[in-house]
Amino acid sequence: MHHFQQRNGTLFAEGVSVTELAEAHGTPLYVYSAATLKRHFEAFDSAFASMEHLTCYSVKANSNLHVLRLLASLGAGMDIVSGGELYRALLAGVPAGKIVYSGVGKKPAEIRQALEAGILMFNVESTQELLRINEVAKAMGKVAQISFRINPDVDPKTHPYISTGLKKNKFGLNIDLSLDAYALARDLPAVEPVGIDCHIGSQLTTIEPFMEALDKLLIFYDKLKAMNLDIRYLDLGGGLGINYDEEQPPHPKEFGAALTKVLGKLPLKIILEPGRVIVGNAGILVTEVLYTKQSPTKSFVIVDAAMNDLVRPSLYGSFHRVEEVTPQGRPAQDVDVVGPICESGDFLAKDRQLPEVRQGERLAVYSAGAYGFTMSSNYNSRPRAAEILVDGEQVIVARRRETFESLVAQEL
Ligand code: LLP
C-alpha cells in the first residue's frame, strides 16, 4: 500500500490532497506520510524480531521533531552525530538509554552533554577521541560505555561520497589496528568497551557488502573474546538502500533474515542504525512551476524549489522521480527541472522526460524524505521550506516555513 497515490486525477498524501496542502501552506513544501513512516519502521524492526536488538533510527536522515516523536512512540532508539541531534532526540522523548552516538569529531561539550543524559554508548572513531571521552567521563565521575567503529575495508559499491568503510575513508579505526585500541580502552578507568560498531556506507542495494563486513567483524569479535573483553553489543550501522529509480534493494525482511542466520545464536544485542530506508520514501517535495523556457538545445522547467531545499541531485547527481501533482496528459519532452538559485548546478532533474507543464502547475519530487530537509540551507537567502506530516486525514504542520525575520534573527 503506497500512501502517495493518484486519486481522481490528482496526488494524495494518505487522505489529503497535495494540491490543497500546497494551496494552504505554499511551496516548496515537504510532505511526509505518517502511515509510511510507521510501516517502514515496523517492517525494518520486525525483520530482527527473533534476535535481541535495538533499532536506532539515524537522526541525520530526517530530524524533524514530529518524525522523531512518531518513531520514538514505536519504540525506536536513535543514532546521533552531534549535540544538536541529541537535543532533538531527547526533546522527542527518546529514552537516553536507547541512544548511540557516532561521528569522527565529538567535542568535549558534546561528550559531557551525552554523559549527563546517560546515553547507551559512544561509537568511538579514534584513540584520541577515546582518551578525550575517558578524560571527560573521569572528571564527571562516570564511566562511558563505548564501541569502536571498525573500518573493515569493504567496498559498499555506492556513490563515493557516501562510502565510508574503505581504508581510504576518514571513518572508524583500521581493523588491524583496533585490537590495540580495545586493549587501551580496557586499561582506562572511565571507559568500558562493551561493543563493536561498523557502518560501511549508505544506499547499499545488495546484501553482500554487509555480509562481507560481518564476516570480518565476527573474526574480530573472537579476538576480543580471547582478550577477556565483555562485548555485549554489535552495531551494524545503517545503509540499506531504497528505490529511487530502477534500484532493487533487498527488502528489510531479507536483510534481517540474512543477518539473523549469521548472528542468531551469538550472545550479542544487535544494534541497527537505519535512516534512509525508514524516511526516504515517506516524503515528497512539492514545488510550483514558475516559468518554462527553451534554449536552442534545451528546455527548462524553472520551479520554486532549489538546491538549497534538496541538494542531492546537485551534490551526488542523485535521481529523484519528478511527476505532475495533477497530470494533464500532455506529450512528454526532454527537460531540465531547475531552481531559482544562481548556480548552474542548481537542478532537481536533468535530461528528463516530463509531460509538458505550464506556469502555476505543481510537481512532486519523490523519495525526498531522507537527506532532503536536513541538508537544506538558506543559500541565496531563501527561507527554508515548511514541512507537513499527514496522518490519515490529519494535517500537522511539522515545521513552519521560515520567514525573512528568521533569516536574519541571529544577526540582529
Ligand atoms: N549510521 C551512521 C554512522 C551513518 O553515518 C549513517 C549515514 C547512518 C547510520 C544512516 O545511513 P542510512 O541508513 O541512511 O543509509 N547525505 C547522503 C547520505 C549520507 C549518509 C551519512 N551517514 C545522501 O543524501 O545520500
Q: Give the pLDDT of the chain (412 residues) as one tens digit per residue.
A: 689 999 999 999 999 999 999 999 999 999 999 999 999 999 999 999 999 999 999 999 999 999 999 999 999 999 999 999 999 999 999 999 999 999 999 999 999 999 999 999 999 999 999 999 999 999 999 999 999 999 988 888 777 776 776 777 778 898 888 999 999 999 999 999 999 999 999 999 999 999 999 999 999 999 999 999 999 999 999 999 999 999 999 999 999 999 999 998 999 999 999 999 999 999 999 999 999 999 888 899 999 999 999 999 999 999 999 999 999 999 999 999 999 999 999 999 999 999 999 999 999 999 999 999 999 999 999 999 999 999 999 999 999 999 999 999 999 9
Which residue minimizes the CA distance to atom 9 of ligand 1?
238
* Residue 203: all three cell numbers together: 544506499
Set 49, 226, 342, 412: catalytic member: 342
Using left for φ > 0, alpha for ψ between -120 and 50, and beta otherwise, residue 286 falls in beta
- How far, in Å, CA of 182 to CA of 167, rounded? 19
Of 358, 264, 352, 250, whose CA–CA distance to 302 is shortest? 358
pLDDT given for residue 1 in this prediction: 60
DSSP letter at 163 equals B
* Residue 360: all three cell numbers together: 502555476
Residue type, 128: Q
Q: By the 8 A CB rule, do 386 and 406 touch?
A: no
- How far, in Å, CA of 299 to CA of 296, rounded? 8
Which residue minimizes the CA distance to atom 24 of ligand 1?
371
Q: Which CATH number fits domain 34-276: 3.30.360.10, 1.10.3720.10, 3.30.530.20, 3.20.20.10?
A: 3.20.20.10
The torsion angles phi and psi of 396, rounded to 5 degrees, stand at: -115, 125
DSSP letter at 245 equals S
Q: What's the CATH class of domain 4-32+280-411?
A: mainly beta
pLDDT given for residue 50 in this prediction: 96
Which residue minimizes the CA distance to atom 8 of ligand 1?
238
pLDDT given for residue 264 in this prediction: 87
Say how far residue 184 (Cα) sits from the centre of its chain: 32
pLDDT given for residue 147 in this prediction: 98
Of 186, 122, 177, 119, whose CA–CA distance to 150 is shortest? 177
SS3 (DSSP) at 365? strand
Atom of ligand 1 nearest to the CA of 241: 15
| Per-domain boundaries in the chain | 4-32+280-411, 34-276
The residue to which cell 544562481 is assigned: 342
CA distances from 101 to 86, 90, 235, 267 (A): 8, 13, 11, 22
Catalytic (active site) residue 56:
no
The binding-site residues of ligand 1, defined as CB within 6 angstroms of any ligand atom, are 58, 61, 79, 102, 162, 199, 202-203, 237-240, 273-277, 312, 371
Hey, which of 40, 57, 58, 124 would you mutate to test ligand 1's pocket, going by the most ligand atoms within 8 Å of its Cβ? 58
pLDDT given for residue 160 in this prediction: 75
pLDDT given for residue 328 in this prediction: 98
DSSP letter at 219 equals H
386-391 and 29-33 beta bridge pairing: parallel
